[in-house]
Amino acid sequence: MKSIINSASDEAIEIAGAGVAGLAAAIKLAQAGCRVVLHEMHDKVGYRFDGDFQGLENWTEEEDVLNVLKEKGLTTDFNVVPCQEGTLYGPSGKSYEVKTDRPLFYMIERGPGSGTLDSALLEQALSLGVEVRFKSRLEKMENEGILAIGPKAADAIAVGYHFGTDMSDGYWVICDDTLAPKGYAYLLVINGRGTVKSCMFSDFKNEKLYVKRTVEAFEKRVGLKMQDPKPHGGYGNFRLPESAYSGRHPLVGEHAGFQDALWGFGMRLAIYSGILAAESLLCGKDYDRLWKKELKAQIETSIVNRALYDLIDNRFYDYFLALVASRKDLHASMRKQYGPSWMKRLLYPWASRHYESRRKDVSCNHVDCNCIWCRSRLCDEKGESSCK
C-alpha cells in the first residue's frame, strides 16, 4: 500500500471530494510542492451543509483546536464563536447550565458562503495552487490519490431548519427520546441566524414527527422564533474499518467511516485523517499504521461511549445531564470521557458487537462501486432516503 510521491513529478495527485477531509489533504500535499487536482462533484464546496452551524469540538485535546489547526499548517481564517456557556434540558423539562473556563467548542459556519470553514480551506488550497475541478464527479481513480467522498450510509441523521431570528446568540440541547431517539435535539444561534435540529440515531422513518416536536420543545423552553425557516438535514456514517484503503488509495473522513459515534462531532477526525493520508503519500508511510496510531483509540472509545449511551433512555437523561452540569471542569471531564482508558478498552469487544454500522458491506469503498450503498447514495441525490 505504501507509495512515495515525488513532489517534482508532473503527475498530479487526484483527490475525490472537496469536503474538509479532501481539502485538508490537498493543502498538505500542495504545501509539500505536489501538483494536486481536487475533484468536487458539486459546483461549490460545502454543498451538503449550506450555511449550517456546527461545533468544532475543543475537548478531545488539551491544546486549543484552533492552535492545533495552525500548527498543522491549516488556515483558521474563518468565523468562529467560542462557546463557553449553554443550557441542557432533560425530558423532565428541567434545565442544567453548563459553563467552562475556555471554549468547549467553537461554533462555525459550513457551506459555500464567506467566512465558512469550507470556504477558508478552499481559499487556502487555491492560494497554494491546488487545481479544483467543480462539477467533476470522479468515477475512477487511475493515478495516485485520496478518496474523500463523504458518508456512504446513514447511521445517524440530523434534520431540522435553518432560519433567521432576533434571538440572542447561544446553544441549547435537549436529551429526550421523544424528540431525538438515542440522540439529542439542538438549537444554535449566531448573529441573527440559527439552526435547530433533531439528531436521531434510530427510527428515522418518523423524522418529521421528531422535527415537529423538537421545534415545539424549543419554542416552549427558550422561546425559539424562526423567520423564513428552510428545511435542512444530513446524515453521518460511523464505522471503524479494518483498513482505510481502497486498492492503493487512502480513504479519509467519513468515506472511511471516521466519525465520533457518540455525538457526531466528525470534523476534526475528517481533517486529521486528510492530513495523515497526505503524509502517508509524501513519506511513503503506511496510512493504516498512521491513522491507527493517531485516531483508532479515539474512534473505539466513541463506539464504547455510543454503546453505553444506548443503554440509557428518558428515565436516566436527567441524572446524566445533572452529572454533566455538576462537573467543576467539564472540559477535562469531556476529554477524559472521549479519551481511551483501560475500562473503555475492556468494554470495546462488547461495544463493537452491540454497535453495528448500517454500512454492512465493508468492501464498498470504491468511487466507481455499484453496491447497495453507492446506489443508495445516488438515490439520496434524487431526494430519496438512504435509510431502509
Ligand X SMILES: Cc1cc2nc3c(=O)[nH]c(=O)nc-3n(C[C@H](O)[C@H](O)[C@H](O)COP(=O)(O)OP(=O)(O)OC[C@H]3O[C@@H](n4cnc5c(N)ncnc54)[C@H](O)[C@@H]3O)c2cc1C
Q: Which residues contact ligand X by CB under 6 A?
A: 16-22, 39-42, 47-48, 52, 54-55, 57, 137-138, 148-150, 158, 234-236, 253-255, 259, 264-267, 270, 367
Shortest distance, CB of residue 162 to ligand X, whole angstroms? Answer: 10
Alpha carbons 135 and 330: distance in angstroms, whole number: 44
Question: Which is closer to ligand X, CB of 167 or CB of 262?
Answer: 262
Alpha carbons 312 and 46: distance in angstroms, whole number: 34
Alpha carbons 157 and 308: distance in angstroms, whole number: 19
Shortest distance, CB of residue 313 to ligand X, whole angstroms? Answer: 23
Q: Would you tell me how many other CB atoms lie within 10 Å of the CB of residue 366?
A: 17
How is the chain split among helix, strand and coil, in percent rounded to 5? 35, 20, 45
Question: Which is closer to ligand X, CB of 149 or CB of 187?
Answer: 149
Contact 227, 242 (CB under 8 A): no
Question: Which is closer to ligand X, CB of 150 or CB of 241?
Answer: 150
Question: Which is closer to ligand X, CB of 22 or CB of 194?
Answer: 22
Shortest distance, CB of residue 48 to ligand X, whole angstroms? Answer: 6
Query: Per DSSP, what are the bridge partners of residue 184?
Result: 199
Question: Which is closer to ligand X, CB of 28 or CB of 39?
Answer: 39
Shortest distance, CB of residue 310 to ligand X, whole angstroms? Answer: 19
Question: Which is closer to ligand X, CB of 280 or CB of 347?
Answer: 280
User: What b/e sequence results for 112-124 when a residue is b if at least 16 CB atoms lie within 10 Å of its CB, and e otherwise?
Assistant: beeebbbbbbbbb
Alpha carbons 95 and 105: distance in angstroms, whole number: 20
Rg, the chain, Cα only: 20
The three cell numbers of residue 33 are: 510542492
Contact 273, 21 (CB under 8 A): yes
Shortest distance, CB of residue 298 to ligand X, whole angstroms? Answer: 13
Shortest distance, CB of residue 168 to ligand X, whole angstroms? Answer: 20
Question: Which is closer to ligand X, CB of 244 or CB of 347?
Answer: 244
Question: Which is closer to ligand X, CB of 32 or CB of 41?
Answer: 41
Q: Looking at the chain, which runs of residues are DSSP E strands? A: 13-16, 36-40, 53-57, 80-83, 85-89, 95-99, 105-109, 131-134, 145-147, 156-164, 170-174, 184-190, 193-200, 227-236, 245-246, 249-250
Residues in CB range of 289: below 8 A, 6 or more apart:
none
DSSP-derived secondary structure letter, 6 = -
Question: Which is closer to ligand X, CB of 196 or CB of 307?
Answer: 196
Shortest distance, CB of residue 26 to ligand X, whole angstroms? Answer: 11
Shortest distance, CB of residue 274 to ligand X, whole angstroms? Answer: 7
Q: Which residue has the cell 493543502?
A: 27
Alpha carbons 148 and 97: distance in angstroms, whole number: 38
Question: Which is closer to ligand X, CB of 7 or CB of 136?
Answer: 136
Shortest distance, CB of residue 349 to ligand X, whole angstroms? Answer: 26
- Nearest CA to 254 out of 242, 262, 263, 268 is that of 268
Shortest distance, CB of residue 277 to ligand X, whole angstroms? Answer: 11
